[in-house]
Structure 1
Amino acid sequence: MQHYSKKQLKEGLLISIFLNRSFLIMAVLVMVGLLLVSQWGWLQAAESSKGPVYKIGVVPQFGQRKLFRIWVPIIKRLKKDTGLNFELVGSHQIPDFEDKFMAGNFDFAYMNPYHAVNANRTQGYIPLVRDGSRVLQGIIVVRKDNPIHSVKELNSQSVAYPSAKALGASLLPRSELVKKFNVTTTPVYAKTHTSVYLHVVQNLVVAGGGIKSTLEKQKPQIKNLLRVLYYTQTHKSHPIVAHPRVPIGDMLKVQYAFLKMSKTLSGAALLKKIPMNKAIIATMPDYDSVKNLNFKRLRTK
C-alpha cells in the first residue's frame, strides 16, 4: 500500500473540503485549526474517552446479519485505534439508507459513488477513503440454465434491482440498456443485492442487476446458479464519507485508521470483507465521472 505522510493526509482532506462549495467557510476554519495541531499523538491508539458517539451507516448491499458480522469488528478496531466512540446504525433496505444520509443522520457512512455525489450536494459529506485496488462495475445476471444470450432479449422483461438509485446494480445497467441497446426493462426493486440474486435463482424474474463484488460474496448455492450476461462501464469504488459537522481532527483520525488498518494483516483481513482490499485517500474529484452521468430517462424514485 502507498504510504501517506501526515502532511498528505491533511492536504487530501482539505482538497475535499475546498471542493465542497457549501463549506468554504469551514475550510478556512479548518486551516486555522490545523496550524494549531503541532503534535499527531492523537493519531495513535488511545483509550476511549467520554466524547460524542459517532453514528456509522453502511449501504445494505447484504442482509443485516451479514453486514453486522462484517462491520462490528471493524468498528471495534476503529475505536481502539482512534480513541473515538462509534455506533453502527442499520438500514434494512437501500431506500431507508438513502433517506437517512440525505437527512444527515450519519456522521460517517460507506456508500456507493452516486450516493456520495448526492450526499455531498445535499449535506456536504466529504470522502475520506476508498478501495484503490478495485473499481465499481455493474452486472446483469441470469440463471445459468437460462437460454438468453443477449441483453436485447430483456426488453419489456421484469428485471430485479436492489433499488432505483443503486449505482452499479441499477442506474448503470438500466441506463446503458436504454442508451446502447434501446432496451427498457420493468424494474422489480428487491431492496438488497442478495435479494436480487435470490429473485433470479428462484425464477421470480428473468434477470437481475448487481455488482461484481457482491456476486462474489454470495454463497456457492446461489452464485453457482448464476452467470453474468452483461458488464457495465467502470467507476471509482465506494467511499467512506464523513459529515462536515464532524471535527476535522476526528475525520483525520478515522481516515488515518483505515489507511493504517489496510497495512496490517489483521486489519486488511477485516477490510477485505467490506470488500476494501487497499485503502487509499478519496476526494470528490474521484467521482466526477459519476456527476457527468445523465439518468434523466430513468425513474429514480
Structure 2
Amino acid sequence: MRVLLALAALLLTSLLSGCGREEQPPGPQYSTAPAASSKPEYTFAVHPLHNPAKLIQAYQPLIDELNRRIPEATFKLESSKDYASFEQKITAKSPQFILPNPWQTLQAMQSGYRVIAMAGDETEFRGLILVRKDSPVRQPTDLKGKAVSYPSATALAACILPQYFLYQQGIDINKDLENRYVGSQESSIMNVFLGETAAGATWTLPWTLFQKEHPAEAAQLRVAWETPHLQNNSVMVHHDVPATVASKVQHALFALTDSPEGRRILDGMATKAFYPASNETYTPVQNFIADFERKVRPVKQP
C-alpha cells in the first residue's frame, strides 16, 4: 500500500506539470458519427517501460510524428497495464506495430512479427541493482534471505540480466531470495526507496528518467551493481502490414536524428536513436535466454 500511495503521489506531481491542455484519454475512442476517413489504422503498442500515463506522455509525440510523415495512414498508441497484458496482445496479434523488450521480441517472431529497428544503443541495455544509500548491503551475498523487487519475471534488462548476475555471484535466486515482481519499473525502484525490499532491479532508461523527474527520491538510492549489456528493445511489424507502410515507418524512425524536433522526440523517450536491425540481430539474446533457463529458471513463471 505504501508503494502504491507513493507512486500515486509521484504520478500526480508529474501530471500537474502538464495541466493547461485537454488531452484525450488513452485507449479506443467511441463515436456515433461515421468514420471521416477510410485510411487504414495501425496500432503501435509499447511494452510497459513506464506506467500507462507516463508511457503515453513519452511516446505520443512519436506517434504524432508518424501521422505527420505518413498521412495516408493513421497510427494510434496503445499502452498496457503490465507485462502480461502486453504479451497477451502479441500472442493475439492485435497490434500491427510493437516495441517489445528483447525476450518479447523472440516470442513475437513466433506470432508473425519481424524486426525493423532497434530502439536505442545496445550498450544502454544494462540491468541495474539499486539499494538505499543507508543500506548495509555491500556485496551480492548480503542479499541472501532478503526481498528483491523487479518489474516482471519477463523483464530482460530489469530482471533476467540482474538475476543472472546474482547467480554468477553465488546466489540461488530460487532459494536465497524473496523475489517480488511488482508490475512496473517505477514500482521496483520505489520498493527500494520505501524500504519494502533490500534491493530493486531496473535498467538504465527508467533509472535515468527517475533521476530526472524525482531527484529527491533518487538521491537516497545508489546503483550497487550493473550487468553486461544485450541488444536493446526492438520495433516490430506484423506480416499482415503492407511492406510499403512498414518501410515508411522504418525510415521515419531512422530520420528522427535529422531534425531538432525529431531529437526532442527521442529525448522524451530517453532514446538516442533508432538503428537498423533484423530478426538475426537478436540471435545473441536467444543464446543468452537458453543459458539463463538452463542455469537459473524458466523465463515464464507458472
Q: Structure 1 pair 165/277, CA: closer, same or farther in 2 (3 Å)?
A: same
Q: What is the one-letter code of the residue matched to 2:292?
A: F
CA distance in 2, matches of 1:124, 1:229: 39
Asked whether 1:99 is paired with 2:94, we answer: no
Q: How does 1:8-87 map to 2 (within 5 A)?
A: 50-83=38-71, 84-87=73-76
How far off is 1:132 after superposition? 5.2
CA distance in 2, matches of 1:164, 1:73: 29
Percent identical pairs in the alignment equals 26
Q: SS of 2:167's equivalent?
A: helix
Deviations along 1:214-272, one digit per CA (max 9) or x if unpaired, are 10100212321211111111112111111111111110010011111221111111022
Partner of 2:108: 119
CA distance in 2, matches of 1:272, 1:237: 16
Q: What is the one-letter code of the residue matched to 2:238?
A: H
Determine which of 283, 287, 293 is the counterpart of 1:292. 287
The TM-score with structure 1 as length reference comes to 0.80
> Does the Cα contact within 8 Å between 2:209 and 2:270 map onto a contact in 1?
no
Asked whether 1:197 is paired with 2:189, we answer: yes
> Does the Cα contact within 8 Å between 1:130 and 1:276 map onto a contact in 2?
no
CA distance in 2, matches of 1:108, 1:265: 25
| Shift >6 Å, 4+ stretches | none
Deviates most, 161-170 or 124-133:
124-133
Q: How does 1:257-296 map to 2 (within 5 A)?
A: 257-293=252-288, 294-296=291-293
Mark the runs of 5 or more structure 2 residues left unpaired by the alignment. 1-35
How far off is 1:148 after superposition? 0.6
How far off is 1:281 after superposition? 1.0
Q: SS of 2:247's equivalent?
A: helix
> Does the Cα contact within 8 Å between 1:175 and 1:298 map onto a contact in 2?
no
How far off is 1:103 after superposition? 2.1
Partner of 1:26: none
Q: What is the one-letter code of the residue matched to 1:276?
A: T
Determine which of 214, 233, 239 is the counterpart of 2:234. 239
The TM-score with structure 2 as length reference comes to 0.80
> Does the Cα contact within 8 Å between 2:141 and 2:169 map onto a contact in 1?
no
Deviates most, 266-275 or 159-168:
266-275
Partner of 1:30: none
CA distance in 1, matches of 2:156, 2:57: 24
How far off is 1:126 after superposition? 1.2
Q: SS of 1:147's equivalent?
A: coil
Deviations along 1:152-172, one digit per CA (max 9) or x if unpaired, are 111232110000100000111
Partner of 2:154: 165
Q: SS of 1:217's equivalent?
A: helix
Q: Structure 1 pair 71/132, CA: closer, same or farther in 2 (3 Å)?
A: closer
Partner of 2:126: 137
Asked whether 1:206 is paired with 2:205, we answer: no
Q: Structure 1 pair 290/224, CA: closer, same or farther in 2 (3 Å)?
A: same
Deviations along 1:159-201, one digit per CA (max 9) or x if unpaired, are 1000010000011111221234234222111101011001110
Deviations along 1:24-45, one digit per CA (max 9) or x if unpaired, are xxxxxxxxxxxxxxxxxxxxxx
Deviations along 1:55-98, one digit per CA (max 9) or x if unpaired, are 11111121111111111121111011012211212201122111
Q: SS of 1:205's equivalent?
A: coil
CA distance in 2, matches of 1:284, 1:49: 34
Asked whether 1:109 is paired with 2:98, we answer: yes
> Does the Cα contact within 8 Å between 2:122 and 2:230 map onto a contact in 1?
no
Mark the runs of 5 or more structure 1 residues left unpaired by the alignment. 1-47
